[in-house]
């Protein structure tokens, strides 16, 4: 089975990952606009990671690279997915803290972006705030950041397959050489 997956075209692999990114963003936007759940700063960073991955996979799907090109897109996709995994993992960790260790709520993201340098904004966001530690909606007993972390782990399969896929051209060349 793994062999069959590795032989898929880069366009199909990237397209499947892109569809998963669209699904993740669809759920996030539904929760925000349909349910009225306001995203915390860490949620916003997770969305940025999904969008960055989607952009890489969209370009890969349009380009349909072979060889090192597929590995380049896969590597870029893995970097953005790893960033999402890191932020989602941090979010899950904040939610597991005892109530007395939860950081206090800070200013809103818009305000911080207006008055602080970007590096300091990222530092403050990643240190977390009380709003990021709140567990709102749960699905099957898991909080949204846990589901987002699972989503990122599944999403990592697409760029990973791009990195590991065998080019059909090189497979055919090897079989003809033998």
pTM: 0.72
Give how far Cα 47 sits from Cα of 3, 79, 166, 173, Å: 32, 15, 31, 41
Is 172 within a domain? no
Taking the C-alpha atoms of residue 174 and residue 127, their distance in angstroms, rounded to an integer, is 51
Domain count, the chain: 1
Confidence of residue 79 (pLDDT cuts 50, 70, 90): very high
- Residue bearing the bigger pLDDT, 78 or 37: 78
CATH number of residue 141's parent domain: 1.20.1550.10
Indicate whether 176 belongs to any domain: no
């Amino acid at each position: 089975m793994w062999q069959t997956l590795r032989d898929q075209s880069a366009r199909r692999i990237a397209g499947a990952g892109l569809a998963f990114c669209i699904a993740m963003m669809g759920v996030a936007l539904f929760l925000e606009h349909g349910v009225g759940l306001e995203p915390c700063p860490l949620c916003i960073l997770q969305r940025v990671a999904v969008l960055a991955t989607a952009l890489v996979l969209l370009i890969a799907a349009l380009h349909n690279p072979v060889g090192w090109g597929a590995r380049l897109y896969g590597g870029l996709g893995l970097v953005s997915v790893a960033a999402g995994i890191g932020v989602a993992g941090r979010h899950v960790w904040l939610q597991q803290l005892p109530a007395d260790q939860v950081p206090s709520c800070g200013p809103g993201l818009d305000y911080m972006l207006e008055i602080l340098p970007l590096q300091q904004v990222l530092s403050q966001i990643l240190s977390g705030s009380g709003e990021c530690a709140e567990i709102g909606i749960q699905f099957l007993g898991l909080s949204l950041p846990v589901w987002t972390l699972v989503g990122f782990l599944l999403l990592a399969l697409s760029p990973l397959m791009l990195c590991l896929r065998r080019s059909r051209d090189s497979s055919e060349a090897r079989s003809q050489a033998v």
